[in-house]
């Protein structure tokens, strides 16, 4: 077995491909859910596909579509989508120490292909094997999204084209919570992580009555503040302050 410090780009890509392949099982029904919801909300197939190809963010897309069907103000739709996707900025910051030295075009492509599944897989791998060469890390990330992204596109198309023919009793909606549970649960490693997740859940449920899902914005902000504060406190304790 090749040591991590000697992995080639291709070997890194193969490892990423193997790690990311299981996520196809949840990405496919997730994409179908979005395709169905988007067309039911009045978007045509081209608009639905453009949404998925340009944004590639299932949770933000579903939130935006729901608000659009409720005739929410454009600013509210944009703000909600931004709040849901703020995690991508944190993902980028977490991956920067590992991929920050890559060429600009590679970093730009990683940014475009930044999805929860690939981040969770890649970040865990990079933290466990920091000695992995930069080229292998880049290859690993691209391997992790090699199947996830095409299946997301394809599932969206299927949902948009045959959504009204999917049996009403088929519980494809399970893919949305299942995806995030599978991603988040293994990453709750510190008190700050657990506290941020708990705050986001409690506040979101407590403010469910607020129109246009604005409670989600509040929950996201409070969760990040909670996590950041606990991380600072932990850092001070480690420093003996």
CA distance 47 to 56: 13
- Backbone torsion region of residue 42, taken as left when φ is above 0, otherwise alpha when ψ lies between -120 and 50, otherwise beta: left
The DSSP annotation for 66-91 comes to HHHHTT--HHHHHHHHHHHTHHHHHH
pLDDT-above-70 percentage for the chain: 87
141, 171, 186 - which closes a domain:
186
161, 186, 211 - which closes a domain:
186
My answer on whether 104 and 151 are in the same domain is yes
Q: What local confidence, expressed as pLDDT, does residue 32 receive?
A: 86
Assigned token pair, 85: 């996707």
Tell me the whole-structure pTM to 2 decimals: 0.76
My answer on whether 125 and 153 are in the same domain is yes
My answer on whether 108 and 149 are in the same domain is yes
My answer on whether 146 and 41 are in the same domain is yes
My answer on whether 151 and 230 are in the same domain is no
Assigned token pair, 157: 């198309």
Quote the number of domains for the chain.
2
My answer on whether 210 and 174 are in the same domain is no
CA distance 185 to 178: 10
Angle of helix 116-128 versus helix 134-145 axis, rounded to 10:
150
My answer on whether 120 and 108 are in the same domain is yes
My answer on whether 15 and 105 are in the same domain is yes
Q: Mean pLDDT: which of 60-64, 70-74, 140-144, 183-187 is highest?
A: 140-144
Assigned token pair, 108: 């730009």
Angle at 226 between CA 223 and CA 185, to 5 degrees: 60
- Backbone torsion region of residue 56, taken as left when φ is above 0, otherwise alpha when ψ lies between -120 and 50, otherwise beta: left
My answer on whether 182 and 196 are in the same domain is no
Domain extent, residue 194, equals 188-241
pLDDT-above-90 percentage for the chain: 29
Residue 156 DSSP label: H
My answer on whether 19 and 39 are in the same domain is yes
139, 166, 186 - which closes a domain:
186
CA distance 224 to 229: 8
CA distance 52 to 19: 23
Average pLDDT, the chain: 83
My answer on whether 71 and 100 are in the same domain is yes
Q: Express each pLDDT in 5-57 by its tens digit.
A: 778 999 999 999 999 998 888 888 888 888 888 888 888 999 999 988 988 88
Q: What local confidence, expressed as pLDDT, does residue 168 receive?
A: 56
Q: Does the pLDDT at position 209 exceed 70?
A: yes
Contact of 99 with 132, CB cutoff 8 Å: no
My answer on whether 105 and 203 are in the same domain is no
Q: Does the pLDDT at position 184 exceed 70?
A: no
CA distance 42 to 32: 16
Place of tokens 């608000």: 67
Burial status of residue 178 (CB atoms within 10 A of its CB: 0-12, 13-18, 19 or more): middle
Q: Express each pLDDT in 52-98 by its tens digit.
A: 898 888 778 888 887 888 788 888 888 878 877 877 887 888 899 99
């Amino acid at each position: 077995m090749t040591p991590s410090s000697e992995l080639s780009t291709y070997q890194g890509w193969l490892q990423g491909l193997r790690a990311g392949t299981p996520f196809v099982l949840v990405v496919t029904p997730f994409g179908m859910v979005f395709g169905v919801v988007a067309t039911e909300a009045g978007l045509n197939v081209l608009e639905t596909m453009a949404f998925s190809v340009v944004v590639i963010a299932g949770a933000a897309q579903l939130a935006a579509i729901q608000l659009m069907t409720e005739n929410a103000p454009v600013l509210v739709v944009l703000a909600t989508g931004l709040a849901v996707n703020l995690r991508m900025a944190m993902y980028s910051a977490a991956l920067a120490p590992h991929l920050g030295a890559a060429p600009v075009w590679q970093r730009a492509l990683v940014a475009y292909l930044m999805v929860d599944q690939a981040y969770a897989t890649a970040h865990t791998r990079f933290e466990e094997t920091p000695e992995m060469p930069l080229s292998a890390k880049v290859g690993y990330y691209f391997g992790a999204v090699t199947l996830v992204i095409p299946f997301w596109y394809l599932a969206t198309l299927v949902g948009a084209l045959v959504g009204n023919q999917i049996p009403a009793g088929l519980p494809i909606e399970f893919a949305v919570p299942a995806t995030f549970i599978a991603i988040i649960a293994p990453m709750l490693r510190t008190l700050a992580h657990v506290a941020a997740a708990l705050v986001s859940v409690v506040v979101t449920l407590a403010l469910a009555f607020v129109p246009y899902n604005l409670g989600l914005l509040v929950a996201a902000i409070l969760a990040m503040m909670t996590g950041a504060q606990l991380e600072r406190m932990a850092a001070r304790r480690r420093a003996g302050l």
